[in-house]
Amino acid sequence: MEDLTVRRATAGDIDWIVDLSCRVQAALTAAGSLQRIGPLPPAMVEAAVQAGHAYLLQTPASRLGSVLVDPAAAYAALPLVALGLHTLPAPHWYLHALMLEPSAQGKGLGKRFPLLVFT
């Protein structure tokens, strides 16, 4: 799957991101997973969008996924030093939610998406 682009989410994407979290959760539940990712609260998605911490993965034809990140400094409990991550170049980010359309999963996009966001 080529022609992938990443862009910051806008206010017009908030409902789509919330709906995506519902679709992803439904797929997880149907597969028997106990993982909980959604539905994401609209206020949380809106705050991430306003802070510039929400991104979309898309092709020219459609949106494929979303990722919400936060500066790691916002999470004092993250053991950056204990994990040896404090030596990596700043800024450090906490990946809060990475979601792909269920039909786009299993194609390696989950690995590529964060790399596209931070390069």
d(CA 37, CA 93) in angstroms, rounded, equals: 19
Domains with residue ranges and CATH for the chain: 5-117 (3.40.630.30)
pLDDT of residue 1: 55
Which parts of the chain sit beneath pLDDT 70? 1, 75-78
pLDDT of residue 47: 95
The pTM assigned to this predicted structure is 0.86
Query: Could you read off the pLDDT of 40-68 as tens digits, one per residue?
Result: 999 999 999 999 999 999 999 999 999 99
Residue 114, CA distances (Å) to 29, 30, 34 in order:
24, 26, 24
pLDDT of residue 79: 75
